[in-house]
Amino acid sequence: MTDSPKKLPARYSQKAQEAYGRFLGSNDLSGVADIVLEAVLDYLPSTTASQAPAPQSTEELRDDLRLMEDLGFDSLAVAELVFFLEEIFPVTINNVEIVSVRTLGDLRQFVDTKLRESTARPEA
């Protein structure tokens, strides 16, 4: 873990800030999906791969949207997003695992599973 203070950047919504507070305070995973979607929006390229207008809110981020093909993430943007998630959550995501994550639904599920594993361990 880094020695930097554990907090979300100030531009994240009140809802995400509160969800993160609940996670840090009591390992409450109920709001983690909201945080993940806000992070996706935060790292979203300004142009989408399909030339469609880029989503402006988390409500537009449907589970079936693919990070690369639909949302225009390149491999470095995915790496940036993963790095950020590793910074705020006690998870490590390796290169093989990243490749298995194609859609936003995959990502949500993946982070949730990782956190259930890590928070189940007493030292986490």
Partner 1 sequence: MRIQSRRVVLTGIGVITPIGNGVETVTAHLREGRHGLAPVDLLGNPNIPVKLAGTIKGFEVGSASYRDWSWPSEYEIPRETVRSLAPHGVYALCAGQQALQNAGLAPSDVAEKTDTGLFCASAGSAMLLHHNLAQMHAVRGERGNPMGLVSSISGTLNFNLAAFFRITGAVSGFVSACASSSHALGYACDEIRLGRLNRVLVVGAEDVNAESLLPFLAMRALSSGSVPEQASRPFDVARDGFVGAGGAVAVVLEDEDTALARGASPYAELAGWGQSADGYSVASPLPEGTGLRLAMERALADASESAGSVGYVNAHATSTPQGDRAEAIALQSLFGSTGVPISSTKGLTGHPLSMAGVMEVALCALSMRGGFIPGNPHLANADPVCAGLNLPRETTFSAPRVVLSNSSGFGGSNVCLVLRGLDR
Residues near partner 1, by CB under 8 A: 1-4, 9, 11, 42-47, 74, 76-77, 79-80, 83, 86, 92
The CB-of-91 to partner 1 minimum distance in angstroms stands at: 11
Residues 97 and 110 sit within 8 Å (Cβ to Cβ)? yes
Residue 66 pairs in a beta bridge with 103
Q: Which is nearer to partner 1, 4 or 100 (CB)?
A: 4
* Interaxial angle between packed helices 32-43 and 104-120, expressed in degrees from 0 to 180 and rounded to the nearest 10: 130
What's the CA gap between 76 and 74, in Å, rounded?
A: 5
Q: Which is nearer to partner 1, 45 or 63 (CB)?
A: 45
The CB-of-48 to partner 1 minimum distance in angstroms stands at: 11
Q: Which is nearer to partner 1, 76 or 120 (CB)?
A: 76
